[in-house]
Amino acid sequence: MPAPIRLRELIRTIRTARTQAEEREMIQKECAAIRSSFREEDNTYRCRNVAKLLYMHMLGYPAHFGQLECLKLIASQKFTDKRIGYLGAMLLLDERQDVHLLMTNCIKNDLNHSTQYVQGLALCTLGCMGSSEMCRDLAGEVEKLLKTSNSYLRKKAALCAVHVIRKVPELMEMFLPATKNLLSEKNHGVLHTSVVLLTEMCERSPDMLSHFRKLVPQLVRILKNLIMSGYSPEHDVSGISDPFLQVRILRLLRILGRSDDDSSEAMNDILAQVATNTETSKNVGNAILYETVLTIMDIKSESGLRVLAINILGRFLLNNDKNIRYVALTSLLKTVQTDHNAVQRHRSTIVDCLKDLDVSIKRRAMELSFALVNGNNIRGMMKELLYFLDSCDPEFKADCASGVFLAAEKYAPSKRWHIDTIMRVLTTAGSYVRDDSVPNLIQLITNSVEMHAYTVQRLYKALLDDISQQPLVQVSSWCIGEYGDLLVSGQCEEEEPIQVTEDEVLDVLEGLLVSNLSTPVTRGYALTAIMKLSTRFSSVNRIKKVVSIYGSSIDVELQQRAVEYNALFKKYDHMRPALLERMPIMEKTATNGPTEIVQTNGETEPSVLDTKHPPPVTQPANQANDLLDLLGGNDVVPVIQTTLPTKPASAGGELLDLLGDLSLTGGPAPAPAPSVPTSQPPFLLDGLSSQPLFNDIAAAGIPPMTAYNKNGLKIEFTFERANPNPNIAVITIHASNSTEADMTDFVFQAAVPKTFQLQLLSPSSNVVPALNQGTVTQVIRVLNPQKQQLRMRIKLTYTHKGSPVQDLAEVNNFPPQSWQ
Amino acid sequence: MIKAILIFNNHGKPRLSKFYEHYSEDTEQQIIRETFHLVSKRDENVCNFLEGGMLIGGSDNKLIYRHYATLYFVFCVDSSESELGILDLIQVFVETLDKCFENVCELDLIFHVDKVHNILAEMVMGGMVLETNMNEIITQVDAQNKMEKSEAGIAGAPARAVSAVKNMNLPEMPRNINIGDISIKVPNLPSFK
């Protein structure tokens, strides 16, 4: 058999092929030759054949029959063979083939070979494609090589160890002792790979993380040497000394410093140094700065450093290089949640990036712009964003439209602006908006009662222009159905009213029904709108005709609607006006984003009781219990208003439970502190903080009274009547201390009879200063629906001159005006 | 972690493909084609970062590429790698190739794919960056090449002779001695037993 051709020959031959078919033919011929050569078990030419096979594999032709040959090559003694064999193994084999396990023994022998290059090859292959079984078998060898003094092998062993850890995480502890003096190496290659190994270990296991925290000073030192050392030709890249190592160390510092104050403290200086000293003219410097910024953002750095980081990002944004701008926008997006104000300063630059030609930059700028919108800049930003919406690619339009809706909902300065914005979006990008925007918009329009005429007029005009954008058409037809009477009556304060007749309106709606552009859903909207107009317009006959035509429509939905509406005309004509009258204002259900459109109706009790966190001074529930016992004789089980919202369990859970909807059974049962006090009448809301919602006007005429005056502690009550609910009396207590020593840990508790309800807001402080230098105030709200005489029992606890004091008192001398 | 390193030319023909995660052969070819489509559409003055195509992991992975003359060098990485750092790595890789091949061009990559693989193996191992010092890499690669040559035996004699001649510094020596392929045929003489 003639000697197989060399790889170069093969390549030359293949390149002469002019068509794909010719190439395939040549390759098939060569494959056949290779296969027969393999069958002959020819040692001399095996490596040549495998090399050719690998080339053909790269071009895309099947080469799996060469897998075993690779194994034979690996087992050979010659370095050339081993080299090609290992390369073939990496390219052709993987852990899904059973054959790969046969390599394990060879690799094991080669890991102990005398020549470092052979060891290197074995490590490389193990690190690239070692399966978990192989890794388990060979981890010991790798660990041994990690401790060798040969830096060439050490760095390869480190990366191999990373691969082993990824495949078999349980073996991580095995490599721990070897990592001890990895960082004291001089060789940058070893340093680099060691940092990678440490990073992987820290990311995988929190124990390792805390273990390696002590390495922070060492890492800082290495980094410092890198920066301060002068020009070193070996590791220099564009004037900066080993930037790859710098970036790796910064990344490891980031992981170590996250949520740990001490480490972050140790890193502050070096980060500031790197941030200020690195040259930014080339990509290299920017890479280091970028990594530094990310690290500063992630660890618990001081605020000055954070501002520096954001300013660096701002500078990046002005850079001409697109890559830099891209990474700057990405990082700003990550930090905008935490450092909102700092990022706001760069808003104008970000908005300029919207006009960039590059698609990736535009997308990031858009996301960032939405994150930066707030109440102050909404008008300006919205203008820019709407302009962007007009001109951007279709792939952005859907996201942009949703973003605009969300932002408008949150920060709309006025209803009219809101409606205008939404209309603008619908007219420009109408076919890209999300499906739920139609109901949201309808709800918004319903709720802005004064804008109905304006809205319907504008929508009508938009409909005249263009009926292809379905969401717009749907909203318009709904509005015309609802407010058609306003449209034809021509009353509109906001703009020039247009003169529209009923027939014109009906023409438009009928046009929708027959148009090819309308989807079935839109047709349904149009039909319903026409029906609604039958109560608002006078030309009922025309409507009747239209409706009866569609009674035989092919579309089942339309047909059903038409038939039912027909029935309305015929049999239930008396009900028709009632059925088709104006829609009421709809309650807004929870939407995706936080909404500030809160329906306030006079009764604000529920939101008043919307407590947040219990203050640090929490009383155990049994104290409350005792107080209730003191009220005595309360056998009547009151009915608690069930407007109390259910609370999530929190630290002060027991106290909050006092408030919850409790089914009250009998008198207060003595409950131990942590148990759920299901049988306690929830009168005491001790110190639960909540914001006072009322701007109370001090009710003139109710004189203040002294409730308690003993041992130097005086408590005065002042009264206000809460508008608008006259049943609520708002009492402010003022506690003052005439002794020479402060009263600390001062807590005021109160209980009222069951016919009242009491709420205690948080005190101004819990130290009553001595010698009447100041007072502690606290607000009590008492609900007195039955207008009974107010009685109250109070309990005071404080620490005076080192000893705790407790006292109980009853307050009966309320002025009559406070409860009538 | 680097998921894949691809080099292809302006028409999409692969010149080097190294995957650090397993994909079937078909998928590998499809990935190469998809990446070529994504990268070739890019204008000259846009940024060098792209979201990965669907086959290679979608938007979790990024494609970082550089275009040199007729070749695209594409590194597909996940989010743990610094994008700007990888750009520098590509630069170092190309400079190393340049040093090894003396003014490297596409033809060098075509005819010496195995050598390019060896150089790459010294830089990136298992998807992670191993060594970035150009001189170090070149030293190691040279040493290994020397080992290979010393084992080559008689078939390597012509190549050795060529390199020996190249390394001689005699100004009179004609430069165009092309020794080429000498296949020595040993006649089968049955009379000599």
DSSP A545-584: HHHHHGGG-SSHHHHHHHHHHHHHHHT-TTTHHHHTSPPP
Residue A662 and residue A685 in contact, taking contact as beta carbons nearer than 8 Å? no
Residue A451 and residue A415 in contact, taking contact as beta carbons nearer than 8 Å? yes
Looking at the partner chain, which of B47, B84, B117 has a beta carbon nearest the beta carbon of A287?
B84
Tell me the pLDDT of chain A averaged across its residues.
78
Contact assignment for A159 to B49 by CB distance below 8 Å: no
Confidence at residue A640, expressed as pLDDT on a 0 to 100 scale: 35
- Mean pLDDT for A667-678 is 38
CATH class of the domain whose range is A705-818: mainly beta
Flag whether pLDDT at A219 surpasses 50: yes
DSSP string, A38-59: HHTT-TTTHHHHHHHHHHHHHH
Confidence at residue A550, expressed as pLDDT on a 0 to 100 scale: 85
Token digits for A707?
């409730």
Percent over 90 (pLDDT), chain A: 3
User: Residue A37, Cβ neighbours under 10 Å: how many?
Assistant: 18
Flag whether pLDDT at A597 surpasses 60: no
Query: What are phi and psi for residue B11, nearest 5 degrees?
Result: -105, 5
- CB of B140 within 8 Å of a chain A CB? The answer is yes
Residues of B in contact with A323 (CB under 8 A): 47-49, 83-84, 87
Closest CA to A506 of A479, A528, A533: A533
Chain A interface disruption, residue of B1, B7, B26, B131, most A CBs within 10 A: B131
- CB of B21 within 8 Å of a chain A CB? The answer is no
Residue A764 and residue A746 in contact, taking contact as beta carbons nearer than 8 Å? no
How far B167 CA sits from the closest chain A CA (Å)?
Answer: 23
Residue A716 and residue A705 in contact, taking contact as beta carbons nearer than 8 Å? yes
Looking at the partner chain, which of B48, B152, B183 has a beta carbon nearest the beta carbon of A323?
B48
CA distance A794 to A813: 13
Q: How far is CA A176 from CA A397, A468, A483, A774, in A?
A: 52, 67, 75, 61
Closest CA to A136 of A95, A186, A76: A95
Q: Which residues pair with A719 in a beta bridge?
A: A731
Confidence at residue A721, expressed as pLDDT on a 0 to 100 scale: 66
- Mean pLDDT for A194-203 is 90
Query: What are phi and psi for residue A63, nearest 5 degrees?
Result: -140, 20
Residue A194 and residue A185 in contact, taking contact as beta carbons nearer than 8 Å? yes
- Mean pLDDT for B89-94 is 93
Looking at the partner chain, which of A11, A63, A79 has a beta carbon nearest the beta carbon of B111?
A11
Token digits for A612?
């947040």
CA distance B154 to B184: 10
pLDDT in tens, A231-271: 677 777 777 888 888 899 999 988 888 878 888 888 888 88
Token digits for A162?
């990373």
Residue B3 and residue B126 in contact, taking contact as beta carbons nearer than 8 Å? no
First to last CA, chain B: 62
CA atoms within 13 A on the CB side of A466: 13
- CB of B131 within 8 Å of a chain A CB? The answer is yes
- Mean pLDDT for A696-703 is 52
Closest CA to A444 of A469, A479, A471, A485: A479
Confidence at residue A726, expressed as pLDDT on a 0 to 100 scale: 67
Q: Pseudo-torsion of CA A400, A405, A410, A416, nearest 10°?
A: 130
How far A414 CA sits from the closest chain B CA (Å)?
Answer: 38
Confidence at residue B118, expressed as pLDDT on a 0 to 100 scale: 92
Helix (H, G, I), strand (E, B) or coil at B48: coil
CA distance A242 to A240: 6
CA-nearest residue to B108 within chain A is: A8
Flag whether pLDDT at B90 surpasses 90: yes
Confidence at residue B36, expressed as pLDDT on a 0 to 100 scale: 93
SS3 labels along A661-696:
CCCCCCCCCCCCCCCCCCCCCCCCCCCCCCCCCCCC
Q: Strand A743-751: give its sheet, edge to edge.
A: A743-751, A792-800, A803-811
Confidence at residue B181, expressed as pLDDT on a 0 to 100 scale: 57
Give contacts of B 160-179 with A, CB under 8 A. Answer: none
Closest CA to A513 of A455, A555, A563: A555
Residue A328 and residue A313 in contact, taking contact as beta carbons nearer than 8 Å? yes
CA distance A446 to A557: 25
Q: Which residue has the higher pLDDT, A730 or A641?
A: A730
pLDDT in tens, A780-795: 888 777 777 778 888 8
Confidence at residue A727, expressed as pLDDT on a 0 to 100 scale: 72
* Interface A:B, Cβ pairs < 8 A: 156
Confidence at residue A606, expressed as pLDDT on a 0 to 100 scale: 37
How far B43 CA sits from the closest chain A CA (Å)?
Answer: 9
Alpha helices in A358-469 (DSSP H): 359-372, 378-391, 394-411, 415-429, 437-447, 452-465
Contact assignment for B151 to A189 by CB distance below 8 Å: no
SS3 labels along A256-295:
HHCCCHHHHHHHHHHHHHHHHHCCCCCHHHHHHHHHHHHH
Chain B interface disruption, residue of A79, A246, A290, most B CBs within 10 A: A79
Sequence-ordered strand ranges (E) for chain B: 2-9, 14-19, 49-51, 62-68, 71-77, 124-125, 128-129
Contact assignment for A83 to B118 by CB distance below 8 Å: yes
Lowest mean pLDDT among A326-330, B36-40, B43-47: B43-47
Contact assignment for B133 to A83 by CB distance below 8 Å: no
How far B103 CA sits from the closest chain A CA (Å)?
Answer: 19
Percent over 70 (pLDDT), chain A: 84
Percent over 90 (pLDDT), chain B: 35
CA distance A63 to B25: 9
CA-nearest residue to A6 within chain B is: B181
CA distance A563 to A612: 54
- List the domain boundaries for chain B: 2-154
- Reported as type and span, the H/E element at residue A432 is none
Instruction: Provide CB contacts within 8 A for A270, sequence distance 6+.
Output: A220, A223, A224
User: Residue A315, Cβ neighbours under 10 Å: how many?
Assistant: 16
Helix (H, G, I), strand (E, B) or coil at A735: strand
Lowest mean pLDDT among A450-464, A541-555, A724-738, B82-96: A724-738
- Mean pLDDT for B23-46 is 87
Pairing of strands A713-721, A705-710: antiparallel
CA-nearest residue to A155 within chain B is: B130
Residues of A in contact with B125 (CB under 8 A): 123-124, 127-128, 156, 159-160
> Please, which pLDDT band fits residue B153 given cuts at 50, 70 and 90?
low
Confidence at residue A688, expressed as pLDDT on a 0 to 100 scale: 39
Closest CA to A759 of A779, A789, A735, A734: A779
Rg (CA), chain B: 21
> Please, which pLDDT band fits residue A638 given cuts at 50, 70 and 90?
very low
Flag whether pLDDT at A15 surpasses 50: yes
Chain A interface disruption, residue of B25, B30, B47, most A CBs within 10 A: B47
DSSP string, A491-559: --SSSPPP---HHHHHHHHHHHHH-TT--HHHHHHHHHHHHHHHHHSS-HHHHHHHHHHGGG-SSHHHH
Looking at the partner chain, which of B47, B133, B155 has a beta carbon nearest the beta carbon of A360?
B47
How far A359 CA sits from the closest chain B CA (Å)?
Answer: 9
Flag whether pLDDT at A658 surpasses 50: no
Contact assignment for B49 to A87 by CB distance below 8 Å: no
Name the CATH architecture for the domain at B2-154. Answer: 2-Layer Sandwich (3.30)
Closest CA to A527 of A484, A488, A557, A567: A557
The one-character DSSP state at A337 is T
Residues of B in contact with A192 (CB under 8 A): 129-132
pLDDT in tens, A353-400: 888 878 788 888 888 888 888 888 888 888 888 888 888 888 788 888
The amino acid that residue A440 corresponds to is: N
Residues of A in contact with B117 (CB under 8 A): 87
Q: Which residues pair with A803 in a beta bridge?
A: A800
Confidence at residue A629, expressed as pLDDT on a 0 to 100 scale: 46
pLDDT in tens, A280-308: 778 888 888 888 888 888 888 788 888 88
Which contacts (CB < 8 Å, 24+ apart) does range A39-47 have?
Answer: A40/A1, A43/A76, A44/B155, A45/A3, A45/A4, A46/A72, A46/A73, A46/A76, A46/A81, A47/A73, A47/A78, A47/A80, A47/A81, A47/A84, A47/A85
Token digits for A766?
């819990």
Confidence at residue B119, expressed as pLDDT on a 0 to 100 scale: 93
pLDDT in tens, B162-185: 666 666 655 555 555 555 555 555
Flag whether pLDDT at A652 surpasses 70: no
CA atoms within 13 A on the CB side of B13: 12
| A662 class by beta-carbon count within 10 Å (0-12 exposed, 13-18 middle, 19+ buried) | middle
Lowest mean pLDDT among A253-267, A567-581, A688-702, B26-40: A688-702
Token digits for A36?
């027969």
Residues of A in contact with B155 (CB under 8 A): 44
Residues of B in contact with A287 (CB under 8 A): 82, 84-85, 87-88
Contact assignment for B133 to A189 by CB distance below 8 Å: yes
Q: Examine residue A724 and say whether the peptide bond preceding it is cis (omega within 30 degrees of 0).
A: yes
Flag whether pLDDT at A526 surpasses 80: yes
How far B110 CA sits from the closest chain A CA (Å)?
Answer: 8
Contact assignment for B25 to A62 by CB distance below 8 Å: yes
CA distance A39 to A169: 41
Contact assignment for B151 to A87 by CB distance below 8 Å: no
Helix (H, G, I), strand (E, B) or coil at A736: strand
Residues of A in contact with B133 (CB under 8 A): 188-189, 234-235, 242
- Mean pLDDT for A814-818 is 75
Confidence at residue A420, expressed as pLDDT on a 0 to 100 scale: 84
CA-nearest residue to A62 within chain B is: B25
CA distance A28 to A25: 5
CA distance A768 to A737: 6
Contact assignment for A244 to B49 by CB distance below 8 Å: no
Residues of A in contact with B126 (CB under 8 A): 124, 127-128, 159-160, 162-163
The amino acid that residue A548 corresponds to is: S
Q: Strand B14-19: give its sheet, edge to edge.
A: B14-19, B2-9, B71-77, B62-68, B49-51
Q: Which residue has the higher pLDDT, B90 or A761?
A: B90
Query: Which of A190-199, A674-683, A714-723 ranks highest by mean pLDDT?
Result: A190-199
Residues of B in contact with A120 (CB under 8 A): 140
